[in-house]
Every structure is written in C-alpha cells, then in structure tokens.
Amino acid sequence: MSEVSDVGEIGDVSETGELSYAHGTSGTPLIGDTIGANLDRAVAAWPDREALVDVLSGRRWTYAQFAADVDGLARALLAGGVAKGDRVGIWAVNCPEWVLVQYATARIGAVMVNINPAYRTHEVEYVLKQAGISVLFASLSHKTSDYRAMVEQVRGKCPQLRETVYIGDPSWDALIARGTPGQDEEFRTRRSELSCDDPINIQYTSGTTGFPKGATLSHHNILNNGYFVGELIAYTEQDRICVPVPFYHCFGMVMGNLAATSHGACIVIPAPSFDPTATLSAVQDERCTSLYGVPTMFIAELGLADFAMYDLSSLRTGIMAGSPCPVEVMKRVVSEMHMAEVSICYGMTETSPVSLQTRRDDDLEHRTGTVGRVLPHIEVKVVDPATGTTLPRGSAGELCTRGYSVMLGYWDEPEKTAEAVDAGRWMHTGDLAVMLDDGYVQIVGRIKDMIIRGGENIYPREIEEFLYAHPKIADVQVVGVPHERYGEEVLACVIPRDAGDPPTLEEVRAFCEGRLAHYKVPSRLRVMEAFPMTVSGKVRKVELREGGAGGA
C-alpha cells in the first residue's frame, strides 16, 4: 500500500494462477570457506584498509591488525583448553572485543553463544546450562546491569562454567597473555580440522512463552548470508558501515560484521547501545556510507531537534529490518538521510537471518509495502497453515523458507527442531505473508497476531500503515484483545506526536470512517509513551495484548 487513501483487501488472488513459490537463482556461487578462511582472504586483499573503528574509545584496526588480534585471542583460548565444539558465551554490549570474540571462536571451531545483554540471572542461568558454556566473556556493567554480580549469583548453579573473562578488566589481559607464538602448530592443526558445515554460533530466539530456544548456525549459514546481503547493496572495500544494532543479534553480527569483512568494508561501532545522537555523529565523523537500524531507530534519529545539523551526505545505503517501515519514515530516510539505496530485509534467527530483501533500485512502494524478494540460493513459498499446500500468488498464508540459510537445529532440542523444520527442510516462519505477482512478498502479520473478529480475518499491519498518516500519531501498534460477542476486537496502541495533545478514540474512528472496512476500525485506543521492545528492536505485541482491552 503506497498511499494511505488506497487501503485494499490483503490477499486478492492472482489472476495468473501462479503459485506462491520463488527460487533465488544466481550465477554467483556460495562461499565454501570457514569464517576464518574468508577473513584471511580479506586480509590478503586489503591489509591496510580499516576493518574496525570504535568511536567511544577511539580505537582503530586495519585488516592486518584486526586479524593479528583475532589470532592472539584464538591462541589464548587454545591455551585455556577450549576444544573444537566447546561453547564460549558472550554476554556483552557492542564493543570491539565482541567482534574479536566472534572471529576468534570461529578460528578454532568453538561455538560462540550470543547472550542478550538485557537478560537477568534467571535467563542467563538457563542459557549457561542449556548450551553447556565453559568460558564466558562478559561486560563489567552497562546502565543498570552489573554483569559481574549476576555471574557470581549463578556461577554455583552452572558446573560447566569454568572461567569468566570480563571486558575492560585485568581478566581480559590475563587471558590474552596466555597465547604465545609457540602455539602456531596447534593453531594450524586446529584450523585444518574445521569444516564450513560445523556449528559455530548459537543464538537464543526471544520466545514469548517459556524459555528461548538456541538456534544453531554454521559457518556456511551465516557467512553466506552476510555476504549475499552485502552483495545486494553493492558493498566494496570502500564502504564504512555504521552498526548501532546489537551484535548479539543476527542483524549486528551477520548483516553487519560478516557482510563487512566478506567485502573488505569497515565496521563502525557508534556506541555500546543505541543512541541516536551518537549514531548520527559517527556517520558524520567517520564518513559512513551505510547505516543500519530498525524503524524505531530511524524515527528517533529523524526526531532529534538538531537533526538538520548533521552532515549525512556520505550515506548511500543501509538496511532497515525488524519490523515494517512506515511510508513517511522511508521518504525522509531516502531524501533527508541521503540513503537512496536503502534496503529492507526480512528474516529470522533460524534462517541466518535474511530470506527476502529489496533491491537497490526498488521504488518506494516496494520498500514500504513489501519486504523484498528472495535472496540468491534460497527458496520461499506461502502455504496454507492448516494443510501445507502452496497457495496461489495473492493469497495470505504461512511463509516458509529453505536453503543454505536454514539452521542446523535448536541446540539439544530435536523435538522443537522438528516442529519448526519439516521433513523437506522447509523452515516454517510463523509469519503470515502474501507473495505478489512480481515475486515480492508482503508480511501481513504473525499467525498468532492475526485478529479474528466475528469471523473476519484482520491483519494488524494494514491498519497500522493506515494510522501512521494520522496527524496526531507518531507510532502505532495494533493488537487483538478479547471481546465477549465478536471473540476479538481491535485495540490501537499509539504514541502521540504531541504528548500534550494525544488523539482520542473518536478522532481515530472518524479518521478511519469510510476508508477502512467497519470491522477493521479500532474500537479501543491506548495512548502510550513507548512500546515494550526486545533488544533487537521488535515490538513485544504479546505484552500489548496482555495489557488487556484497557484504554478508551
């Protein structure tokens, strides 16, 4: 939907009769390297180009310096008895050491386990036990989190955890001091034993019920995904990528770090966690060509009182992912942030993560109304959730994806793996999608987020896109809440443009009158200061629903 005045019904079946299936054929082969071997190629090609910049500390690494520090850390881990397949955890905010751990563990075949920096003792204890982590790297503290104190609380309950190394602490220096050039033969032997299909990374998905599951990914999964995402926005060694999104998530460590190093580009860390001022300052001062973020990040940057004072003319591209981008936000990103080639990506942790992506020359309608088309070497289809049958194009159903990017499985949970990945190796995403005639895909909601009101299927995304144009609404999320008669009713949760003059339910309903079908018009309104978010920038709709039908 490119114009809010043209809100049609989602799911008009294609007249061509073509099925909702697409395969990303490509003349560019998949990479068969391990992550370490791929880094070696970058170092050989661009030893003196910058690989990594940390704005906060002022530290900088060329590719040659970065590889030397990666190898030093890898040798130290070998000296500490880390074997191939051992799990090494990292529980930290964005910093250069995070990136060093990522590549050092890959060098020696250890499985790096990403731990959400927002986790507290109950959650981190679960991950330490479930993954069997033997060595843990952690920040000392960040904002209200005292990581050392939390580790001390759970250490006695995690018998496999034998060592914790704190970033910025003498324990880091002590670890590095273990590594010696005398380990070169052992280092070479270990590297020769690695396969690109080995598990190399566990990422815990942010489950809304119960404990999260550990998606297990290989070198082949994440290296290729980072590479092809970078290919589609034409990365070269000239690019400098500002990465304000968290490294613990695929967005940061795959689409950011691996997309960069596989193309000889530079990773720029603007701050330990997202800060709109620090982000734009980094883009300006480091002359970044690419900027990442979820839509709420771009909204925050555009909303800065001194936004116009930043020189963002070096930007040409970037990636927006995590949730759909409002049309008006995309217009400003393209025109005022100079990101004419900005790309929308869709994916999930279990698929390394990206399956669909818009292309550099796509128009505004495709960048806001779709999440792009299939990546090279990947298959996607839209199926009937009940029968598994592939649907005609234009029909809403569950999006499934297959190919090199699909995870090896959930760590030590074969039954949950079988629930998500079927016998044909199709990953079932749980997302409701529509494939258009041109192969581009619209995400219309989660299967569990779809609202069924009096027998009518309602897709929250459609109503959200429409309400973004209301003059009093800065941001909006739509959820279904229980209703005695209709089963569910529509609740609009809004963040007002002016806190002193929020919209009323009557104003919202009047705005929808005659432009949305009656059953889609919100019957409840909740005005909020902010939405509950995951660390990766996704709105936690389950919490909005749990708030009940409160509001006007």
Cα 260 from Cα 102, distance rounded (Å): 14
Nearest to 529 by CA among 482, 497, 486, 507: 497
pLDDT at 6 > cutoff 50:
no
Confidence class of residue 7 from pLDDT cuts 50, 70 and 90? very low
The CATH superfamily of 451-546 is ANL, C-terminal domain (3.30.300.30)
Cβ atoms of 271 and 244 within 8 Å: the answer is: yes
Which tens digit of pLDDT belongs to each residue from 457-514? 788 888 998 999 999 999 999 999 998 888 889 999 999 999 999 999 999 999 998 8
Domain positions in the chain: 63-195, 451-546
Which tens digit of pLDDT belongs to each residue from 126-161? 999 999 999 999 999 998 899 999 999 999 999 999
Q: What is the pLDDT of residue 403?
A: 98
Q: What is the pLDDT of residue 516?
A: 85
Distance of CA 512 to the CA centre of its chain: 32
Q: What is the pLDDT of residue 14?
A: 61
pLDDT at 2 > cutoff 60:
no
Nearest to 524 by CA among 487, 549, 498: 549
pLDDT at 94 > cutoff 50:
yes
Cα 31 from Cα 35, distance rounded (Å): 10
Segment 47-74 mean pLDDT: 98
Torsion of the alpha carbons at 482, 484, 489 and 492, rounded to the nearest 10:
-60
pLDDT at 254 > cutoff 50:
yes
Q: What is the pLDDT of residue 175?
A: 97
Which tens digit of pLDDT belongs to each residue from 204-229? 986 544 678 999 999 999 999 999 99
Segment 107-112 mean pLDDT: 98
Torsion of the alpha carbons at 88, 30, 231 and 24, rounded to the nearest 10:
-120
Cβ atoms of 7 and 1 within 8 Å: the answer is: yes
Which tens digit of pLDDT belongs to each residue from 255-306? 999 999 999 999 999 999 999 999 999 999 999 999 999 888 998 999 999 9
Which tens digit of pLDDT belongs to each residue from 404-460? 999 999 999 999 999 999 999 999 999 999 999 999 999 887 788 888 887 787 888
The three-state secondary structure class of 505 is helix
Cβ atoms of 375 and 354 within 8 Å: the answer is: yes
Q: What is the pLDDT of residue 180?
A: 85
Torsion of the alpha carbons at 181, 186, 190 and 192, rounded to the nearest 10:
90
Q: Which residue has the tokens 């104190």?
A: 149
pLDDT at 538 > cutoff 90:
no
- pTM of the prediction? 0.86
Phi, psi (deg, nearest 5) at residue 316: -130, -25
Q: What is the pLDDT of residue 138?
A: 98
Percent of the chain with pLDDT over 90: 80
Cβ atoms of 532 and 543 within 8 Å: the answer is: yes
**DSSP at 254:** I
> Between 3.40.50.970, 3.40.50.11030, 3.40.50.980, 3.20.20.150, what CATH number should domain 63-195 receive?
3.40.50.980
Q: Token pair of 367, please?
A: 């960048």
Q: Token pair of 465, please?
A: 């896109």
Q: What is the pLDDT of residue 481?
A: 92
Which tens digit of pLDDT belongs to each residue from 158-205? 999 999 999 999 999 999 999 987 888 999 999 999 999 999 999 998
Q: What is the pLDDT of residue 210?
A: 60
Cα 39 from Cα 45, distance rounded (Å): 10
* Same-fold call for 63-195 versus 451-546: no
- Mean pLDDT value across the chain: 92
Q: Token pair of 106, please?
A: 């890959």
**DSSP at 191:** H
Cβ atoms of 164 and 118 within 8 Å: the answer is: no
Phi, psi (deg, nearest 5) at residue 245: -80, 155
Q: Which residue has the tokens 């936690």?
A: 540
Q: How far is CA 444 from CA 21, 323, 447, in A?
A: 17, 11, 9
Cα 446 from Cα 542, distance rounded (Å): 11
Q: What is the pLDDT of residue 8?
A: 36
Paired with 320 in beta bridges are 293, 344
Q: What is the pLDDT of residue 5?
A: 28
Cβ atoms of 496 and 473 within 8 Å: the answer is: yes
User: What count of residues does the chain have?
Assistant: 552
As a 3-state breakdown, the chain gives helix, strand, coil percent values, each rounded to 5, of 35, 25, 40
295 preceded by cis ω (within 30°)?
Answer: no
